[in-house]
Amino acid sequence: MSSKVVTRFAPSPTGFLHIGGARTALFCWLYARHHGGEFQLRIEDTDKERSTDVAKAAILDGLSWLGLMPDGDVVYQSEQQAHHVDVAQQLLDKGHAYYCYCSKEELAEMREKARAEKRPMRYDGTWRDRDPSEAPEGVAPVVRFRAPQEGSTTINDLVQGSVTMENDQLDDMILLRADGTPTYMLSVVVDDHDMGVTHIVRGDDHLNNAFRQYHLFTSMGWEVPEYAHIPLIHGPDGAKLSKRHGALGVDAYRDMGYLPEALKNYLVRLGWGHGDDEIFSTEQAVEWFDLDGVVKSAARFDFTKLEHINGHYMREAEDSYLTEQVIPFLVAETGVDVSEDYAAMLNQAMPGLKERAKTLVELAKSAKFLVAKRPLELDEKALKLLNSDARTLLARVVTALGGVSEWSVDSLDEALRAFGEAEQLKFGKVAQPLRAALCGQTTSPGIFDVLYVLGREESLARLADQAVQ
């Protein structure tokens, strides 16, 4: 490859970063990184109503959470409009574009005719060769592209292979509207050229646009970038991913407690493969990624698999990292201001907690007991478990544990086992009421870890709160 690879992600701001868009961005980013090139971001914000600052910020926020920040400045398409208009003028000057004065009625008639003949509406070229001196008075014209009408166009797509379209399928698309504003089709091509994009990697819903865009590039004498149209993401039922399948925005996955590196790993595997490898680091993905590994058929979103991968990343993660990640979830769950003391406790409990949780939300739920205030509110199962026998047992446990000299996991283990033997109870029969009293629920990390992390004073107080002499 002679020139440096430049890819771009070109989302239209719609309020969130779509999960499919995130995967496109990831593929663009990986391809650029793999080839030592650049990954750029262009926000296609020409639709003034939808393109709010909030919507733009949501895209940047989602990309930064996933670690997919662009190289160089973000390009805002709306800021390039004067230049797009200028290019339309150049096309007019070169004879590759012309003014069209068709009225609304004439266009409606064309549409009607197409409908009657059961074919898609195509502009019939009324003004393609007509002399502009025949232009009606007072009609603001649109500018149309003079598309080739004969022959065919072939795109050697890096994912779809060679795709050919007959040129008579393309009508003369509008480049500038009657109010002088450029259309999406013109803007995309001009921006891709200006940004020096060498590889356009995007959803295959844009494949048809590629043929129109191809001719715009060549009419301007610009090099046509390579195309790679990646299949869209489908839901588990095989239909195009939509709201009814679940969350669409990356922010929602973040709120559901997925780690960004796990979501990223999952998304790379969605439509691209490297043998049977399921779990790999970003560095490995950069090393392995190439467009020839992209699968041609639509990928199905599999929530169970995502959860599985997330669970794996959680178990492998550093305790301190998970503590940092889970604190906002814990605050949301409990309303308690999680101070540094709690963070230290959380960190200590993490080895036991992370084994059981598949998401940060689950992790926060299982860590709730750490920040709970005495006397603890017991959940239904814990309440049921703490019958009067169990409560009197707890009173005896308090006495037994009160005598432990060193509050360590080993000596607590020793003391509780000795207590069980003396009471002729299986270990579980001792551990269960303890867990209920210490955590307010019947699941928790190992009981010695719980005792140890809570500390002597808090543990004995929580047990005493539930004990009956």
Q: What is the CA radius of gyration of the chain?
A: 31
Cβ neighbours for 118, distance < 8 A, ≥ 6 positions apart: none
- Measured N-to-C along each axis, helices 207-219 and 81-94 cross at an angle, to the nearest 10 degrees, of 60
The helix/strand count (H/E) of the chain reads as 19, 12
Name the active-site residue from 118, 243, 373, 426.
Answer: 243
CB nearer ligand GLU, residue 230 or residue 434: 230
CB nearer ligand GLU, residue 44 or residue 171: 44
CB nearer ligand GLU, residue 7 or residue 444: 7
CB of 10 to ligand GLU, least distance (A): 4
Cβ neighbours for 203, distance < 8 A, ≥ 6 positions apart: 20, 24, 229, 230, 231, 232
Please check whether residue 5 is in contact with residue 198, taking contact to mean a CB–CB distance below 8 angstroms: yes
CB of 15 to ligand GLU, least distance (A): 12
Active site residue 426: no
CB nearer ligand GLU, residue 204 or residue 413: 204
Long-range pairs for 61-66: beta carbons < 8 A, 24 or more residues apart: 61/17, 61/251, 62/16, 62/17, 62/22, 62/249, 62/250, 62/251, 63/9, 63/17, 63/22, 63/25, 65/250, 65/254, 65/260, 66/22, 66/25, 66/26, 66/250, 66/260, 66/263, 66/264
CB of 205 to ligand GLU, least distance (A): 7
CB of 5 to ligand GLU, least distance (A): 16
CB of 209 to ligand GLU, least distance (A): 7
Residue showing the smallest CB distance to ligand GLU in the complex:
202
CB nearer ligand GLU, residue 44 or residue 157: 44
Using CB under 6 A, list all residues that contact ligand GLU: 10-12, 44, 188, 202, 206
Instruction: Report the catalytic residues.
Output: 243
